[in-house]
Each structure stands twice: as structure tokens, then as C-alpha cells.
Amino acid sequence: MHKGLIVQKFGGTSVADIQRIQKAAARVVSYKRKGYSLVVVVSALGDTTDELTALAGKINSMPAEREMDMLLSTGEQISAALLAMGIQKFGAKAISFTGGQVGIITDTSHTRARIIKINTDKIKEELNQGKIVIVAGFQGITLNQDITTLGRGGSDLTAVALAKVLDAEACEIYTDVEGVYTADPRIEPQARKIEYITYDEMLEMASAGAQVMQSRSIEVAKKFNIPIHVRSGFNYKTGTIITREVKRMEEVVVSGITLNRNETKITICNVPDRPGVAAKIFKRLAAAGINVDMIVQNVSHLRQTDISFTVKKADTLKVSRLIRGVAKDIKASDVLQDEDISRVSIIGVGMKSHPGVAATMFAALAENKINIEMISTSDISIYCIIKKRCAEKAVRVLHKRFGLAK
């Protein structure tokens, strides 16, 4: 019985040790025996990437990015070879490839390369011979034959991109959680696995702190309309399907609550309200490679305003130093920084057609004496910055209020 092609991606935790590699191999082989063609993308074993990065850091605190890619790409090459061996042990045919061998051509932006094109001849040739094709994720090669890596979440991107160019029937992302949840189950025990979620909601989830998948690969999946099945590498339960449109029996207003405790709030006080001032601030940050998350600026009083934004905690020092310089230039009075904050967000495409969602959120928080310090909204989400100590309570309150419990 000949079925279609499935791309399966196993994350680092799913191939963290011998037993898990064997488990992953068994799963791949079980799909092969059902008649599917399989392309399997693997991440590096467990903490390999972090270990190699630490090793490099001890030799050179500013290693050349080209050499970092040369170094880090070995992690996925190792797991690809080991998984192939594991599959062969079950008597199935398998062959492993590096990103370069399989024809994943990227630009030359080492450590964060972008895929330019994928030559599928080699994969198709091996699939036609009945082989399971294992591809080292996270990597590619430039036209000049230099090895590149695709940046954080790169293996997901490899899987989604291969699913696209090979016209796969499904793209399965195996991870250490059973799917996407209405809230982090460690915080809200009543959290429920979401069966279907849209690309847009998932993108909001990712940017608001859910760590299931990186935005980049979801964007690519959305662009090419490739359904993604996020599921556990440790059992055979159905996980969460990420897709373009979700037909739900009952209309759901809020799909999930996320919490991000990894940000710092920066406020520039008494910024003169002149055209071009905000541009000046954020251009400076962009030039330094800083990603800014929420930005809030309110109406001004006496031709002055406060501008607040959040950045990753790791960037706090760098940003603070930069912004103090800018503040002086633009004659702002002061710069405040607050690491004691969390961002709690509600996300759902249903919001578009349901007025009053924001009001419900703010009321629920107020009733529980949780003060809101900053608010920002998009089409399908509302973010609130609150004190860190209230964060978990806020998640539980909102989860209940929006009826997300099991």
C-alpha cells in the first residue's frame, strides 16, 4: 500500500540519548511499514549545541561566525548518522545527509542563514529506492560550499521547508510536550491541549512566550500553507495541528494564555514630543541588533511623553547603556528599567469578532487586585505587563475567566 510522504522532525530532547534515538527509530520505521515515504529531520543530541558553543567560547570569546557554523553543524550530523543506524537496526533502509549534501542552499549570513533554494533530486532519488532519508537539521550550504546554520529553531525550519519542496502530506514536529496548551500546564493544572490552532495564533503565542516552535518556521508554514502537527516524541497521542483556518463547533474567543517572564521593561521619561524622536530611539537599538518586543507610547502632556518598551532580559545591560546615550541626545529626563515584570497575554482569532474581550481581561485582573502597568494589543491578542509576583495568578485567573479549563 503506497501512501504519501511525511516529513518528521525530532527535536533535541527526542534524540537526547541512545534509548530515545532507538524510540525515534522505532516510530519512523512504524510509519514506513504503514506505507509512508519518510524524510526525517533531526536536531543535535540533547545539549550538544550548547556544549560546543561553550567550548568555542573558551577558545575565542568572539569566534568567527563561519567557524561557529562549521563547529555547530556537526551536532545534527551526528544525530542524523546515529538515527540512520538505529533505523537500519530494525531492518529498514535509511541514509543520512548533511544539509549541504541534500542541497539546502542558503545565503552567506552565517549563524542565521536564510534558505535560498532546495535541490530535491537527491532526496527523491533515495526515496524512490525505498530509503528513509534522514537530514541533519539547522544547516545548509552556500553556493561557495561553506557550511551555514539557520539560527535558533533552525531544524523546524528545515522540516517545514522540506515539507514544502517535497509536497509532503504532513509535517510532524516531535518535541517534549504533547502539543500546544491553553496555558503552561506547570502554572495552570487545568490547561488543555489545543487540537487545532491557526498560524496567526501560533505566531502570537510564540512571540508572547510559548516555546513550542520558533516564529520563523511558522511563518514559512503559513506562507506555503503547510499544516504542522506538533506532538510528543514519547507517546503516540495526537498533538496540536497548526493550520490556516480552524473550524470549531463552538466559537472560541480566546485560544490560549501565555506568560513571558524573560523581559525587562525600559521607560524613557519626558521625551520631547517631536516627529522623529521614536525613530531615533529604535533605529539605534536596531543597529545594535536588539529585538524590541512591546512598545507603548501614550499621549503627551506639556509636549512631553513617556516611551516604554520591553526587551529580552539578556539584552538589558546593553540596551540600558545605549538608551541612556540616546536619552541625553534627545533631552529626555530619565531612563527607568524594571526587571521585575512579566507579560501575560491572551491570544485568539475569535477576538476580532467579539468586542469586549479586553474589558473582560482587565476586569478579571482588577478583581484579583493585579495592577496592569502596560497594555498593548494586536488583532488577535492582548498583552499586559504586570508585576512578576502576580504573573502565575494572572494566568490562572484568565484561564478560568475565558473558559479554557478541561
Rule CB under 8 A: say whether 120 interacts with its own copies: no
232/174 Cα distance (integer angstroms): 5
Among 95, 281, 319, 344, binds its own copies (CB under 8 A): 95
86 lies in the binding site for its own copies (CB under 8 A): yes
Sheet hosting strand 104-106, strand order edge to edge = 115-118, 104-106, 139-141, 147-149
10 Å Cβ neighbour count for 119? 12
Q: Is 373 in the site for its own copies (CB under 8 A)?
A: no
Q: How far is the CB of 255 from its own copies (least distance, A)?
A: 40
43 binds its own copies (CB under 8 A): no
* Residue with the three cell numbers 499544516: 227
Distance between CA atoms of residues 271 and 330, nearest Å: 7
Cβ-based nearer residue to its own copies, 56 or 290: 56
Shortest gap between Cβ of 14 and its own copies (angstroms)? 15
The verdict on 80 binding its own copies (CB under 8 A) reads yes
Nearest by Cα to 10 from 91, 88, 86, 116 = 86
Determine the size of the site formed for its own copies (CB under 8 A).
36
CB closer to its own copies out of 88 and 368 = 88
Among 52, 165, 170, 296, binds its own copies (CB under 8 A): 52
Given the complex with its own copies, which of 1 and 62 has the nearer CB atom? 62
What contacts 24+ positions apart, CB below 8 Å, involve 318-326? 318/288, 318/290, 319/264, 319/266, 319/285, 319/288, 319/290, 320/266, 322/284, 322/285, 322/288, 322/290, 323/266, 323/268, 323/281, 323/284, 323/285, 325/284, 326/268, 326/280, 326/281, 326/284
Give one DSSP letter per residue of 91-139, joined into a string: T--EEEE-TTTTTEEE-S-TTS--EEEE--HHHHHHHHTTPEEEEETTE
Of these, 53, 101, 214, 337, which contacts its own copies (CB under 8 A)?
Answer: 101
372 binds its own copies (CB under 8 A): no
Task: Note whether 358 binds its own copies by CB under 8 A.
Answer: no
Stretch that binds its own copies, among 68-76, 159-167, 221-229, 257-265 (CB under 8 A): 68-76
Choosing from 8, 37, 49, 96, the residue that interacts with its own copies (CB under 8 A) is 96
Tell me: does residue 70 bind its own copies (CB under 8 A): yes
Which residues bind to its own copies, rule: CB under 8 A?
18, 21-22, 25, 52, 55-56, 58-60, 63-64, 66-68, 70-71, 73-74, 77-78, 80-82, 84-86, 88-89, 95-96, 98, 101, 145-147
